[in-house]
Structure 1
């Protein structure tokens, strides 16, 4: 197969995942990145601005693609979506994620597209409990706006794809050697700073989730494209590391790597965690990342099965979070300011220091 002659479109190409995919796929394909704003475009790729909230914006971008790359598109990797931390519904979930995808699908009808790959999430599935494994057959659960928007979009694609092959990728929590996973990064930062709240968790300490290294995700996407002729017309594929490290064990490992001693974590009532998150955000003006709704999902367990990925793609992850943590923490220790910036955490937190209650528990 002459893959260099195949064109691949990537929406959300300026994001954490999209930018890396552009770089990886440009080695083998003619890659066009689509996003609102341009970032560094790797050699062998091209950028075209697109506004998914506008039919005119989508049409203009796809006409540009047709004019430069021609009508034949091997695969569209659709990463662009809306997300915020409020835990509340927002019109942008429909405007960007659901209807933006619909506009894109409709616009692609004027091109000869072989495959449409939608980036969903393992979180569309109903959570499990420690000791259980989630597969693609597990029921879906739209209990939070972000998850609900992904479920609605998957259903819309099924209804409107026509003869276009569709793949629904449902990855675990994506990370890199610098972390770059918001939830994990804040967990590490709280322990690094010795914060009191870093010792507390409002859920079963055995619960955890499957993670996925960015390099393993990129390899899976490449295989989805390469094997597009042999894939079913419509399929969902879970991607992640099969082992889900329990929150308590993960805390302990992070603490040991940072401080050289085990890190104690206590389970606290959800109402206490919600009240504390609300007070810190609304009254004290503290860490804006932690939200009350996070306590509601603290017992959710996502250990995923990847038998379908093995069968259809011949894929399994080469990385493990447990193996990546030492390098991740070493990067933090060697350049705390740079690590915080890379993970979109305010480096001023390092300068403000800790309060008295945090220092009391620093040796716990």
Structure 2
């Protein structure tokens, strides 16, 4: 911790636990203390820490070929693209490394489609986004954030974005009529904002509005996707096939940076050689690891398990809230959940609760002052959840 403080940029505020080892739903610190991980690296470790099949894929490929760049073909990228295309039902794949890169890729793709297919005037495109969104921290992405921490003294910002309230159909209905609007970028559940779940039918209606106005529906499933919410994708609850799908985090099971943007050929084919790319995007390790990570999700039936365990977790937390008014209420889907603490966003109560949870052997992290996210690896069992609920109950009693 001292070395990070001395030599690192002060751009994070971690819970003071120095982790050394992880397995399944557990992590251990340098003193050997064992913890439940209830953050799962912001849903990157859906398959559990150091899943043996995913680690084996990483190890095997790292001994054969690690990187060629896209200057040449490699024997793993084509099979990876084919696998993702069939898995998600979209025709084309553009591989990247991080979630933010995926969002930037989707923005460029949407704009280019707007000029070359929809036919709007050059440099006039608009993409609709939602207030309180979190899509990353690059300069373009923070240009449509309303989080002061993300934006203060980082301007000037990129133009071409229209912000509307989340889970508000009428707001979208008004703006998509503008012929210069080319896309609607949305999180199916707003994670960083505090696990805000939209009204039932919201996403489906938004999708239909986009279709009727020739606007691309862009689903940011970087955190909500890959079984986290109890479905393969969170948009599967409303039977939507997005025009552009952005994936990351659990696409590698947390062992390697992998992200991807998917779209049908009528959209993806606007990108030509030299117009977008990444040295590491689509490298052989990423390709092989990602295929194995997705196979684990399917073969271990993690979507169904997440759905059932999420319902059990929320039921347990609801029971705790009836006995202790420090827990205001709980919201979420699958194993993507949040406890709303009965204090102001400016208070340090949620942070202090997380420190107390850490002392009892459970790691979680607050967001926006009075909200604590609870998103363990999807391999967590019912007995493990019961043990975790007992820890949470005991800690909340002390507050």
The TM-score, its normalising length taken from structure 2, stands at 0.31
Question: Relative contact order, CA 8 A, sep 6+: which one is greater?
Answer: 2
Greater helix proportion:
1
